[in-house]
Structure 1
């Protein structure tokens, strides 16, 4: 795939204390195969769907505090200049967690946190341009920011990336739903959902990553058999039938059957 435009999600990875366990779980669940773990890159291990790179798993760094080694998926946004993106992050109230770091000739990575506590990555591509497949079974297809302070994310992300925001009209059955999307050009690339009181207070704000599957219900059943925990759904939507899961090491993610859509697309309006 070509280098993604600035602000478009381009890669996802997750840290696991039990790397082999993660490989077994996601290999069984999403059909992933895995590349070689190279010690010079911290045993960073790419995952493949039908031979195309779709994600990566990595163990904690030696000596990393246990509280910082919590398993979670991290989404990376494309940047033509990671240093410039970090300056915009700081200028708009965000925190830089990892300064831009050159990774051989693959590219430059950085980690940051928005003013509401949402952690994300930035990737300036070199030879590694990011996802080699999207929207097909086993591959990334969508992501949503979940935050208790949507006003902070709504101001921050369009200030850092070239986003245009659109707000979804809340459905009659869920009048308190607060959901918007961010566009880059003509493409909708990211969602933002306000976290309600249904979320336990100890759940931090985060970005939820969606992987496409052929059958949502079968995938949920398989995940449960292999030690995962269903958190929400399966549920029908105009975007596809989806569910949210926790893997055996506590990383949250969603799966969606994009071919099984129900209902009409909700109205969207430009957000101020």
Structure 2
């Protein structure tokens, strides 16, 4: 099992979490789908649940809270990018055309986080690790294997993430019109144009979870009340599908048969 025991390289996706109206329903759904274990956390963390796979942290699930103005955020998975200094990065984001949605704040002694949107509108998180680095296992069935930015303007987005996170952007070999983010010259994420991936959708980061068998996992998801957005298909890295959980959060599943993405630090 590819366990992560060291800090993630800055610019690397290091954590994902889910915000939904019904936390208990989501905990039960992902337990049955991926084998996760997790329970609502203490009041001082807003009940935030850290889900684990074989005892290793893989993702968070939290209840959607009413925002200023009375609305709740829609169900969604958020990708967090590792940073050395969340406060400094927030300032660079503002100066680079991004929007800071939640200013940097401490999460107990675990680390410091912030939420922002890039210059094309895609929402993501920042994580400055202290006691907690992020995902403790990756690239295994039931854990995160890839994070992908879908944007209407890859050129602008590439410039933004280079300025704000220090990553580099380059075309991915053997994948037409697809780009990869690199941190310390290591592939850590992907990017493609929305016109190719999801016409009409807003810019977003898509979380990919590894599975043993894409078709059977999709069948199980549909039986549990999930929705199929893109049926299983073969592509360069393996066989994948894009799906929605019963509360509407979108993610991808993939049985990766191609080169293993560089998820871990």
Same fold (TM over 0.5): yes
Alignment partner, residue 80 of structure 1:
84
- Superposition deviation, residue 69 in structure 1: 1.9
Alignment partner, residue 263 of structure 2:
none
1:110-259 equivalent positions in 2, closer than 5 A: 110-168=114-172, 178-196=177-195, 199=198, 201=200, 203-258=201-256
Which deviations, in whole Å up to 9, do the C-alpha atoms of 1:7-37 show, x marking residues without a partner? 0011000111011111111111111111442
Q: Distance in 1 between matches of 2:76 and 2:107?
A: 21
Sort the Cα spacing of 1:145 and 1:35 in 2 relative to 1 into closer, same or farther, 3 A.
same
1:36-75 equivalent positions in 2, closer than 5 A: 36-62=40-66, 67-75=71-79
Range with bigger deviation, 33-42 or 73-82: 33-42
Q: Distance in 2 between matches of 1:62 and 1:156?
A: 29
Which deviations, in whole Å up to 9, do the C-alpha atoms of 1:33-77 show, x marking residues without a partner? 114421111110011111110001000225666644200000000
Alignment partner, residue 6 of structure 1:
10
Which runs of 5 or more residues in structure 1 are unaligned?
172-176, 266-272
Total equivalences in the alignment? 256
Q: Distance in 2 between matches of 1:226 and 1:115?
A: 36
Which runs of 5 or more residues in structure 2 are unaligned?
261-265
Range with bigger deviation, 68-77 or 192-201: 192-201
Q: Distance in 1 between matches of 2:82 and 2:197?
A: 32
Note if contact 2:27-2:39 (Cα within 8 Å) is conserved in structure 1.
Answer: no
- Superposition deviation, residue 166 in structure 1: 1.3
Which deviations, in whole Å up to 9, do the C-alpha atoms of 1:51-108 show, x marking residues without a partner? 1100010002256666442000000000110011111111111111111001110110
- After superposition, the CA RMSD in angstroms is 2.0
Which deviations, in whole Å up to 9, do the C-alpha atoms of 1:114-154 show, x marking residues without a partner? 11101000000111110100000111110110111222212
Q: What SS does the corresponding residue of 1:127 show, helix, strand or coil?
A: coil
